[in-house]
Amino acid sequence: MAKVKLPVQKNQKITATIADLTYEGMGVAKVEGYPLFVQAALPGEEVVLHVLKTNKNYGFAKVVEWITKSPARVEGNGNAYTQTGIAPLQHLAYAEQLKFKRKLVVDLLKKAHLEDLEVAPTLGMSEPLHYRNKAQVPVRMVDGKLATGFFRKGSHKFVALKDFLIQDQRIDEVLQVCCEILQKHGISAYDEEKHQGTLRHLMVRRGYYSKEVLVVLVTRSAKLRDAQQIAQEIMATCPDVVGVLQNINSAKTNVILGETTQNLAGKNEIIDELNGLKFKISAQSFYQVNPTQTEKLYNLAIEQAGLSGQETVIDAYCGIGTISLNLAKHAKKVYGVEIVEQAIEDAKQNAKLNGLANIEFEVGNAEDWMATWQKQGIKPDVIVVDPPRKGLTESLITSATQMQPQKIVYVSCNPATLVRDLQSFMEKGYHVSAPLQPVDQFPQTAHVESVTVLERKK
């Protein structure tokens, strides 16, 4: 078979203009229609490129010289945040990031022939840095010392970092204190090639309102020299740390946490608030990482649901009850369902903690429980879905629409699966009744969340 002749070759230097951004936030240059993906380049910039890799349909290149720069470019945060994928959009002005995220949704709707649907401007943050309330960072030996950092995208090359740009600054400080204390006790860092060494990751969670901090030392083996002493020293040095845990992960894996977690000192969880509701957050709890934006997201979902206090609501992916409890303040009755047993235990505890009795939680598949509730004669006025990135299953969409709620509120973390699912709902007698609202939960990254309200056609 004849080899396809490409317009560019590996290691070639070319001058090009960046035409667009991909959904991951990479620049795109076109050479005779052939796309080259370029990290940290912005539309409108004229650049000299070094071609790194080519295949039949597209290639990758890096900028070796900027001939012109975009007025939307932000300088000065250092390449490490882009290279490690922590903040792939940090070089793009924040107002432009918000436009880019709206455009992601608009483009996907257009592709699906749903361009008639309106998309509101993205709801952003006033301070789009240092927002994450949770860190999970690898630890490695650098120049004989324990260092926190991240891996370069697509590689095992460790980049040491002390300031993570998008994490709560207090979390960054606690990480460094932990490293110093562990170093003093002679604790070694994990070596993934040899599968040796002790400390794999440090995980830190911090309450945005409570200011309570939980530290988790993720180790390869159960044996951790001076474990209790280390924990006491961390708590003595950082009085806001209310608990230190050890998680054991002995597997050769890139999964961060293992199955076993044990308490070394203090409490097993922190308590924080969302919209005035208290939540217990343990090491494994799924809890939104951007508290201020989460409050906006949930308030929006409640507003879109149009609750008057008389409604029955189903929350189909309830987790530890964050949305359910927010809904329960405005509805007559809320039913929450979640496949993770521990999350449902936490959800029940959180309902108790807030004195909310108009709420029931069940473990299992949402579609199975919907069928059960339907048999029991439960008629929801509103169903709220907040699925993982893969979106909804066709069977869940069928179960939800068979219950004939007046409204379905879809909280999405992936516009591609959202658009696919909207088509399915529309085929089953629902229509989008308000502009889709993108919400920026993860500034400096290409992720976008959104809230969409669907209503049953009369």
Q: Which residues are catalytic?
A: 413
Q: What gap in Å lies between CA 75 and CA 295, rounded to an integer?
A: 31
Q: Of 421, 428, 430, which Cα lies nearest the Cα of 390?
A: 421
HEC assignment per residue over 424-457: HHHHCCEEECCCEEEECCCCCCCCCEEEEEEEEC
Q: What gap in Å lies between CA 225 and CA 101, rounded to an integer?
A: 47
> DSSP string covering 234-267, please?
HHHH-TTEEEEEEEE--SSSS-S--SEEEEEEE-
For residue 166, the 8-state DSSP code is S
Q: Of 214, 211, 186, which Cα lies nearest the Cα of 202?
A: 214
Tokens at 372, concatenated: 């059960």
Residue whose token pair is 């959009």: 89
For residue 295, the 8-state DSSP code is H
Burial (CB count within 10 angstroms: exposed 0-12, middle 13-18, buried 19+), residue 320: buried
